[in-house]
């Protein structure tokens, strides 16, 4: 297994910042513990500067690690990431139809002892352990390895999946056979908190991969409520992260860019300091988070993202960028860990899932993945085109116009 140094403690500055906010301090600067950022060029310091221990596992992973959800083509991007110090590669059997695993497997062949590989299987509540093992073995073949470091049950939003005895029998057997080392769960749905609580209480999971970004921090949000009609999506999430940390679970954040509407931010990014870096620093200065993964599509992405590695401060300029982003985008951003509107629809449209795939298409640029995922939804937004009652109208506490957005989503995503 790789052994890398650099588990430095972070978060003092973050705590200072949050204390200032709790005291009602909106004036930033020296007194708040924030510092004005030094100008950074896009490529400056574009390398991993910190590896952190993942919970109580023996994994020491790059604080900004490789998300392979859109990996296609050859392994050059994987080599590039590796060269920059990234040693943790996240994929799933479902990503790019299995190609993501295949590319990572090819690229990392001969380097297995230098890296950690995580993958995922989408196991519904009624899937039997034999089928799960079959899925895992497919991943191992594509990844050209005989073990996966962290194996996740993917996109969990249902307690029955967390508690499924078949899943636990499967993971125990896979561990005994040396096919997986640690067990994780990932998720971003409206019932994730109860799933995470149950997972921690069970003691059967080693790692969680969870949607977490600056907009889910109640302290950050509190300050913004002075200027925006904007409330925390899930004030319980920080509590769950703390609880996981206390229980020794590893915590990896994803969806840290709050929708990744990056083009909108270009006019406000000065001297190479970008919104992405600000959003990453926000996440990484939370002591309860060990690391984050983010989809990397190009060497340019990697160069930009890794500037934030090792970040121990949220700067004044970071906060300005995050606030700007909220101002520009929150009118159309469907929050992870929310399903407040879903019971309003008599047609059972999976509104949050529909809008998540719209985000993948429009903001992540992952058109094919979005359309394929949308096609698999049991209740997509086909009903919205002809819907006259629009009972979902006004059901979103964040003011999103659900019927308008779901109709747009269906036009965009269905194979017509």
Binding site for ligand SF4 (CB under 6 A): 334-335, 338-341, 345, 347, 349, 351-352, 355, 381, 383-384, 387, 390-392, 396, 398, 400, 402-403, 406
Residue number with CB closer to ligand SF4 (323 or 347): 347
CB 183 within 8 A of CB 59: no
Judge contact between 153 and 185, C-beta under 8 A: yes
Closest C-alpha among 75, 340, 54 to residue 209: 54
Least distance CB 193 / ligand SF4 (angstroms): 14
Nearer to ligand SF4, 92 or 381 (CB): 381
Nearest CB to ligand SF4, comparing residues 52 and 410: 410
SS3 call for 104 = helix
- In the complex, least distance from residue 342 CB atom to ligand SF4, rounded to whole angstroms: 7
* Closest approach of ligand SF4 to the CB of residue 355, in Å: 6
Supply the minimum distance, in Å, between the C-beta of residue 214 and ligand SF4: 16
Asked whether 174 and 214 are in contact (CB, 8 A), the reply is no
Which of 18/155 has CB closer to ligand SF4? Answer: 155
The closest of 169, 176, 170, 168 to 199, measured between CA atoms, is 168
Please, which residue, 127 or 326, has the CB nearer to ligand SF4? 326
Q: How far apart are CA 171 and CA 129, in angstroms?
A: 9
131 or 327: CB nearest ligand SF4: 327
d(CA 413, CA 416): 9
Helix (H) or strand (E) holding 307: none
Sign of the alpha-carbon dihedral angle for 28, 217, 303, 357:
negative
User: Residue 339 Cβ, how far from ligand SF4 at the closest point, in Å?
Assistant: 5
Minimum CB separation of residue 338 from ligand SF4 in Å reads: 3
Residue 240 or 359 having the CB closest to ligand SF4: 359
Taking a C-beta distance cutoff of 8 angstroms, is the pair 297, 20 a contact? no
Which residue number, 283 or 387, has a Cβ lying nearer to ligand SF4?
387
Question: Rounded to whole angstroms, how far apart are CA atoms 399 and 332?
Answer: 9
Which residues make Cβ contacts (< 8 Å) with residue 73, sequence separation at least 6? 103
Q: What span, in angstroms and rounded, lies between the C-alpha atoms of 14 and 31?
A: 13
Find the shortest distance in angstroms from Cβ 228 to ligand SF4: 15
CA distances to 73, 99, 104, 155, 302 from 116, rounded to whole Å, are 21, 18, 11, 21, 18
| Nearest distance from C-beta of residue 349 to ligand SF4, angstroms | 4
Rounded to 10 deg, the angle between the 316-329 and 275-284 helix axes is 110
Instruction: Please identify, using beta-carbon distances, which residue of 56 and 343 lies nearer to ligand SF4.
Output: 343
Taking the complex as a whole, how short is the minimal distance between the CB of residue 263 and ligand SF4, in angstroms? 21
Q: How far apart are CA 341 and CA 331, in angstroms?
A: 15
């Amino acid at each position: 297994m790789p052994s890398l140094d650099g588990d430095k403690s972070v978060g003092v500055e973050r705590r200072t910042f949050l204390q200032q906010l709790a005291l009602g301090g909106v004036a930033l600067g020296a007194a708040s513990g924030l510092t004005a950022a030094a100008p950074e060029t896009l490529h400056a310091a574009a390398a991993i500067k910190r590896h952190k221990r993942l919970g109580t596992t023996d994994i020491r992973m790059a604080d900004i690690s490789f998300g392979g959800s859109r990996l296609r083509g050859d392994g050059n991007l994987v080599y590039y990431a590796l060269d920059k110090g990234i040693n943790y590669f996240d994929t799933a059997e479902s990503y790019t139809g299995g190609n993501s695993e295949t590319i990572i497997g090819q690229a990392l062949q001969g380097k297995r002892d230098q890296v950690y590989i995580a993958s995922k299987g989408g196991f519904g509540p009624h899937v039997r352990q034999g089928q799960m093992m079959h899925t895992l073995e497919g991943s191992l073949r594509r990844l050209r390895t005989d073990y996966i470091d962290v194996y996740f049950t993917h996109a969990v939003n249902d307690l029955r999946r967390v508690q499924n005895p078949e899943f636990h029998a499967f993971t125990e057997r896979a561990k005994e056979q040396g096919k997986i080392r640690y067990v994780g769960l990932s998720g971003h749905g409206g019932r994730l908190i109860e799933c995470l609580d149950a997972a921690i209480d069970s003691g059967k999971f080693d790692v969680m991969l969870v949607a977490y970004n600056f907009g889910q921090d109640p302290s950050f949000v509190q300050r913004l409520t002075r200027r925006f009609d904007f409330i925390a999506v899930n004030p319980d999430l920080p509590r769950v992260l703390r609880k996981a940390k206390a229980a020794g679970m590893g915590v990896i954040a994803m969806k840290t860019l709050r929708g990744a509407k990056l083009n909108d931010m270009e006019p406000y990014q000065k001297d190479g300091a970008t919104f992405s870096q600000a959003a990453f620093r926000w996440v990484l200065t939370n002591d309860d988070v060990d690391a984050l993964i983010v989809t990397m599509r190009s060497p340019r992405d990697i160069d930009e993202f890794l500037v934030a590695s090792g970040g121990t401060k949220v700067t004044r300029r970071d906060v300005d960028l995050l606030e700007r982003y909220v101002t520009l985008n929150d009118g159309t951003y469907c929050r992870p860990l929310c399903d407040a509107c879903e019971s309003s629809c008599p047609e059972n449209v999976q509104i949050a899932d529909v809008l998540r795939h719209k985000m993948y298409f429009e903001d992540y640029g992952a058109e094919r993945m979005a359309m394929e995922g949308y096609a698999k939804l049991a209740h997509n937004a086909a009903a919205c085109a002809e819907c006259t009652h629009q009972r979902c109208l006004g059901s979103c506490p964040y003011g999103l116009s659900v019927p308008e957005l779901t109709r747009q989503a269906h036009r965009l995503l269905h194979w017509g």
